[in-house]
């Protein structure tokens, strides 16, 4: 074969290659999809767990097995990034609604790392199964080939709540980042229902129902009046909650107790906060603190500052807000993948895309269910009709030389070669016109199905089947009816899984 040399400008090759790489990182790794609010690695971990059958009511399975399946079948990247994703999905101090039930050391709010994946175990939470993975068997989403085309994986998961808002997102791509705060599930559901009732609803009206972020660590958002603009682009200040505990008796000292921290303080920043307080004491910027101790446990955060007698508590609080991370800024940047492209979205845009996705899921789900029930009805009609002429069918079966001959008679009325007891039976058999499916079901029917009660049950099943068909056709035939079903599902999710708001939203002093 002759050698072929293509002459091209080096800078053009580099530019094209870098753009290809950038888009790959942006769309296929770092940013979440607006429809299910998940990055590819998160989606693949949850799907791999679903395929392993790690249901909430089953035993936990080794994390190493989950990571191995995810990496081998769907996500051909490093095992450490997959395990880190699994760990974060289980941490209720990072996720408003944790999606994985971790068993073992899955890290702590103070920044302790999780144990190695060979020691820890995990399974899905009931919330994840009901809200993120339900209906995958009903053709609601497209399945695409995996990296080596040996398996299929869902393009998106059929998530029934706006996960982008509920659990937030963070990611660093090439030339862009996303940083979306978590929100309260109940409030987000209310906002979605309000949008479905009125698509012209304003951002301010949505924020009456979903007033702002709800961080799993609690705290206080202190710029309520700026949140309207923040939901388009900006930043917001989040304070930790400080509780003053006066001395109970003379032997005790007054205390400042920190029970909630800013979301940005999770991990190593708790240690940094304590060292910053120590630094304030050592540099004599405050003389009011006698001792500092971290009494945090599984029950929650508790950082105790013992104060000297007659300490100026208000002044000390302000000093801590100013000089430490007890008051910090969370930079909001709502960036997600929309139709394969990165887009900055406001809260209304996110809800709008979510609703469109829900209509698509519902249409595909009820179309699949309708087809299934129509096939079921066809078979039930055939069996009911067969029960009425069961003596003739038995005669056809006994007189046929083989199964093919019997089936041909049931479907096409072909009586050639079949021995009948009478001409009347032969004439009656010639008029049969069962469908292929009906004939198959009749030939597979067991004799006990001819008992009186079984025939009554068959009629009952048929009536139920007809009712379901009417219901599904009604839903598919009217957007209003479909909206009712979607809203009903959302309200059931809110009822079962909704939690009280943890973060206070106010206009605080600077």
How far is it, in rounded angstroms, from Cα 326 to Cα 103? 31
* In the predicted structure, residue 250 carries a pLDDT above the cut 60: no
Determine what percent of the chain is predicted with pLDDT higher than 70.
94
How far is it, in rounded angstroms, from Cα 359 to Cα 482? 7
The β-bridge relationship of strands 220-221 and 504-505 is parallel
How far is it, in rounded angstroms, from Cα 378 to Cα 373? 9
- Please give the residue that has the higher pLDDT: either 492 or 234: 492
Q: Would you state the pLDDT for residue 312?
A: 84
pLDDT band, residue 234 (cuts 50/70/90): very low
Helix, strand and coil content of the chain, in percent to the nearest 5, comes to: 50, 15, 35
The CA–CA distances, whole Å, from 282 to 275, 276, 279, 288 equal 10, 10, 5, 12
- Note the pLDDT tens digit of each residue in 134-148: 999 999 999 999 999
Mean pLDDT of 58-63: 96
Q: Would you state the pLDDT for residue 237?
A: 54
* In the predicted structure, residue 14 carries a pLDDT above the cut 80: yes
**Whether the Cβ atoms of residue 146 and residue 74 lie closer than 8 Å to each other:** yes
How far is it, in rounded angstroms, from Cα 495 to Cα 190? 11
Count the Cβ atoms, other than its own, within 10 Å of residue 55. 16
* In the predicted structure, residue 52 carries a pLDDT above the cut 90: yes
Q: Would you state the pLDDT for residue 419?
A: 87
Phi/psi zone of residue 115: left (φ > 0), alpha (ψ -120 to 50 degrees), beta?
beta
How far is it, in rounded angstroms, from Cα 484 to Cα 207? 23
* Three-class secondary structure of residue 382 per DSSP: helix
Give the chain's mean pLDDT. 88
Q: Would you state the pLDDT for residue 411?
A: 92
Mean pLDDT of 50-70: 96
The CA–CA distances, whole Å, from 295 to 253, 268, 274, 300, 303 equal 16, 16, 12, 9, 6
Determine what percent of the chain is predicted with pLDDT higher than 90.
49
* In the predicted structure, residue 41 carries a pLDDT above the cut 80: yes
Residue partners of 310: CB distance under 8 A and separation at least 6: none
- Please give the residue that has the higher pLDDT: either 241 or 318: 318
Q: Would you state the pLDDT for residue 509?
A: 65
- Using a cut of 0.85, tell me whether the model's pTM lies above it: yes
Q: Would you state the pLDDT for residue 243?
A: 52
Q: Would you state the pLDDT for residue 238?
A: 55
**Whether the Cβ atoms of residue 93 and residue 266 lie closer than 8 Å to each other:** yes
Residue 413 corresponds to which tokens in the numbers above? 């009325």
**Whether the Cβ atoms of residue 255 and residue 243 lie closer than 8 Å to each other:** no
23 membership: H or E segment, kind and range: helix 10-25
DSSP 26: I
* In the predicted structure, residue 354 carries a pLDDT above the cut 90: yes
The residue ranges of DSSP E strands in 138-188, in sequence order, are 143-145, 152-154, 169-172, 177-180
* In the predicted structure, residue 192 carries a pLDDT above the cut 90: yes
Chain centre to alpha carbon of residue 140: 14
Count the Cβ atoms, other than its own, within 10 Å of residue 94. 22
How far is it, in rounded angstroms, from Cα 265 to Cα 329? 10
How far is it, in rounded angstroms, from Cα 298 to Cα 300? 5
DSSP 178-246: EEE----HHHHHHHHHHHHH-TT--HHHHHHHS-S---TT--EE-BGGGHHHHTTT-EEEEEPEEEEE-
* Three-class secondary structure of residue 62 per DSSP: strand
* In the predicted structure, residue 507 carries a pLDDT above the cut 50: yes
- Note the pLDDT tens digit of each residue in 393-452: 888 888 888 889 999 999 998 888 888 888 888 888 889 999 999 999 888 888 777 676
Q: Would you state the pLDDT for residue 47?
A: 97
- Note the pLDDT tens digit of each residue in 123-176: 999 999 999 999 999 999 999 999 999 999 999 999 999 999 999 999 888 778
Q: What residues are annotated to the active site? A: 119
**In angstroms, what is the C-alpha Rg of the chain?**
32
Q: Would you state the pLDDT for residue 143?
A: 95
> Euclidean distance between the first and final Cα of the chain, in Å?
75
Q: Would you state the pLDDT for residue 255?
A: 81
* Three-class secondary structure of residue 336 per DSSP: strand
* In the predicted structure, residue 454 carries a pLDDT above the cut 80: no
DSSP 28: I
């Amino acid at each position: 074969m002759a050698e072929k040399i293509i002459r091209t400008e080096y800078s053009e090759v580099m530019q094209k290659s870098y753009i290809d790489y950038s888009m790959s990182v942006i769309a296929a790794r770092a940013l979440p999809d607006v429809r299910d609010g998940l990055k590819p690695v998160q989606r693949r971990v949850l799907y791999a767990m679903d395929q392993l059958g790690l249901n909430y009511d089953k035993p936990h399975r080794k994390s190493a097995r989950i990571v191995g399946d995810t990496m081998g079948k769907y996500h051909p990247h490093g095992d450490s990034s997959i395990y880190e994703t699994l760990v974060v999905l289980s941490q209720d101090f990072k996720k408003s609604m944790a999606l994985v039930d971790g068993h073992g050391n899955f890290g702590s709010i103070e920044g302790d790392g999780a144990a190695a994946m060979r020691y820890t175990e995990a399974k899905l939470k009931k919330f994840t199964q009901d809200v993120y993975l339900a209906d995958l068997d009903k053709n609601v989403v497209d399945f695409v080939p995996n990296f080596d085309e040996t398996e299929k994986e869902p393009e998106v998961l059929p998530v029934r709540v706006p996960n982008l808002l509920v659990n937030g997102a963070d990611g660093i791509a090439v030339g862009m980042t996303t940083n979306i705060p978590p929100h309260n599930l109940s409030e987000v559901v209310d906002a979605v229902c309000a949008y479905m009732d009125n698509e012209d609803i304003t951002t301010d009206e949505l924020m009456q129902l979903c007033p702002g972020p709800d961080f799993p660590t609690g705290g206080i958002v202190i710029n309520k009046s700026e949140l309207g603009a923040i939901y388009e682009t900006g930043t917001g200040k989040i304070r930790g909650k400080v509780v003053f505990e006066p001395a109970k008796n003379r032997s005790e000292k007054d205390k400042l107790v920190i029970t909630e921290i800013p979301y940005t303080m999770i991990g190593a920043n708790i240690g940094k906060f304590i060292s910053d307080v120590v630094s304030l004491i050592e540099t004599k910027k405050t003389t009011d603190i006698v001792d500092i101790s971290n009494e945090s446990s599984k029950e929650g955060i508790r950082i105790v500052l013992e104060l000297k007698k007659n300490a100026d508590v208000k002044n000390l609080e302000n000093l801590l807000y100013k000089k430490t991370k007890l008051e910090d800024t969370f930079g909001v940047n709502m960036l997600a993948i929309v139709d394969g492209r990165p887009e900055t979205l406001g809260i209304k845009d996110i809800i709008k895309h979510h609703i469109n996705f829900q209509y698509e899921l519902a249409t595909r789900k009820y179309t699949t269910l309708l087809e299934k029930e129509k096939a079921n009805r066809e078979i039930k009609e055939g069996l009911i009709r067969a029960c009425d002429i069961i003596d003739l069918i038995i005669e056809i079966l006994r007189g046929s030389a083989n199964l093919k001959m019997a089936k041909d008679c049931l479907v096409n009325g072909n009586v050639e070669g079949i021995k009948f007891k009478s001409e009347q039976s032969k004439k009656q058999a010639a008029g049969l016109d069962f469908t292929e499916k009906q004939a198959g079901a009749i030939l597979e029917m067991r004799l006990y199905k001819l008992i009186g009660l079984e025939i009554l049950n068959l009629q009952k099943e048929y009536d139920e089947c007809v009712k379901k068909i009417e219901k599904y056709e009604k839903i598919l035939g009217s957007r209003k009816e479909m909206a009712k079903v979607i809203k009903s599902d959302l309200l059931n999710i809110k009822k079962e899984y909704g939690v009280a708001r943890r973060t206070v939203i106010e206009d605080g002093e600077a």
